[in-house]
Structure 1
Amino acid sequence: MKNYDKYNLEDFLLDEDFRLWVTQHDQNASDFWTKIEGQYPEKKVVMQQARELLLTWNRNQSELSDDDLEIQVSRILASTGPRVTQPFQYRFTTTWISVAASALLIMGIGWGISHKMQKEQPASDYKQYVSQVQVPMKEVVNHTNQKMSVKLPDGSVVALSPASRISYAEAFRHNRKREVYLSGEAFFEVEKDALNPFFVYAHGLVTRVVGTSFLVKTTDTNVEVLVRSGRVSVLAMKDIDNQRSRNTELLLTPNQQAIFSTRDNLLSKSISSMPLELIKPETQSGFVFMDQPIHKVFATLEKVYGIPIVYDSAVMEKCSLHVELSNEPFFTKLDIISQTIGASYRVSDGQVIVSSEGCD
């Protein structure tokens, strides 16, 4: 279950289930979100803002420029925001406006207003990308056998792997969008700039972020994007014009990865083979579980690794765990837990699905 009590405006805008409810009017989804609104009445205003932003964007996505989007966001936040007399008032400064606007841009329903050259002539080759750019470009090639640090005009840092190359505009200030073209492998640490999203074009795949760290690796047959921090949105370049399709864009969070097959143009989401701890366990005991209910065990793993774990809480209600874990990799921990309680698991669409017949 997601922590809706911690959701802010950006979280609702980027929540795929919430977006589908707003845009497709599914009755089951409507019942669910009405229930959520009832459980968290303090979220009613922010949910209303998110709904109106999504509906406004949906109606006008082909006409709105980035500046128009900010104006619409500002208007909606002002018109639906709480009154001054209400406690815990949101202050809708330019920062909040920027966050909301960038969330709409990053979540993928605005792909159609992306780079004009890519819309007109989507290419799948690095040289073709670069040759079509209309601004002065700088290319960096790593001929060494070690990673090379490259500082971009906005302060973002790229760790460029051997035998790899990137091209980017000499000055990002001349272009609202920060765009990098990659051949090979690179790890990006992107400076946050909500008004100027960051794009990486690599072998038929577009990766879009606002500020985060992630790895992009290209081979002859695949492109891999692995997220270490923040949120990343990826889309096959062939689908840029297909902006009304909700199934072509993937949102990635830390420890999730996307794999794009250049042979059959298929894009899939999974989990990193070696997920990293995003935070430390809250208690000193860490991963030492002494007769802990299984829901607390899974909650700890979810929080530390940021990976959703889906299971039937009713079936596993009586399951508990008595085991001492420490520095084992994430999947080793899952193996031990599953074997201990007689369960199994699989990875699907960036989450762990646990199957169990229950415990006595």
Structure 2
Amino acid sequence: MHTSRLASVVACLSALALLAGCAATPPTLTIGPRLHSLSTDKRILLSDAAVTELVDAERPGCSGAVAVRGEVVWAGATGIADLATGTPVTTETRFDMASVAKQFTATAILMLQRDGALSLADPVGRYVDGLPAWGRTVTLDQLMHHTSRVPDYWSELDEDGIGFSDPADHGRVLDAIRELTRLETGSGYSYSNSNYVLLAEVVARVSGQALPAFLAERIFTPLGLDMELSPSLVAPDVALSYDDTDQFQPSGWTAYGAFGIITTPSELARWGDQYRAGDLIQDDFAVGAVDEGTGEFYAAGMDIEADGSLNHNGRLGGYITTFTVSADRETTIVVMCNGHAANRFGLADALWQIWAPTEDADGSATPAPTETVSP
């Protein structure tokens, strides 16, 4: 964890040292009971210090946000959005949320089931044509919970000589999935992006709208969310993607369902309140959640952690996102970055400790879930 890093922040900044209750010699910041009693103003100061301390301002950076009951109470950012121009990352910079987008695809499927337009028990081949024999047996429920055993299309594209920066639109990716004639051996949970590309196609066939239009009409616009499903979008306010050596890492893949939603951390944090009091996220999101074998359960595009919190991380090229909702559903914490070298999990862990500390039996704070979901 990053308790010592946060302590160094307090030691370096006199304002934070004073709020921690010290004079000339700052004490070590204790994570646990002490953070439970901090005022919002002090949490904001600590969060500002954390983003400055934990993310390099001269490299691809990160932007973070915290929302409590749907209201953004803190947002901060540092680093570079475009190394060629020196454009900085700000709280208004947009990113591809990568695999965190899966919860929106799953929500669309559940909305259509509530409408009576489909059932999770339906085989995917009922809606998507041209699939191998497994299309007659693999259900929408299995796709949603990653128990279909349909292999990830990434390997198929690679075998076809299509690299990450080469063009591959939604139709090309669907064709790659149709070429996956054999399911993976075994049973149970096995994460695959193919599952959610197929679910996106189901939404299109059932609703008559491609997933980008469906999400805009039924989720983003009604909730007033500044989001768009537009994979590989190039726009002045969208951070560029960089690898771990800070080399530009563009993607030519424009398939959707598994990733591709562009937004800011603040907008994504606002969305998190749907898990507390929203109309679109209902109890059915957790029905049939599957044990991942790690103490976590995969629900409708989200992990349910052992402590009851919700989490999903995403990685696509240099885009990294962490999205966590506290166990009481009151607090949502989001960090979005545009480079592999950025300390995305360090910042997410720090914000978790500041805004949603959970004490273990020894009085220490339980860290935020930060297992990387690939990709």
TM-score (norm 2): 0.28
More strand by share: 1
TM-score (norm 1): 0.28
Q: Which protein, 1 or 2, shows the higher relative CO under an 8 Å CA cutoff with sep ≥ 6?
A: 2
Question: Which protein has the larger Cα radius of gyration, Structure 1 or Structure 2?
Answer: 1
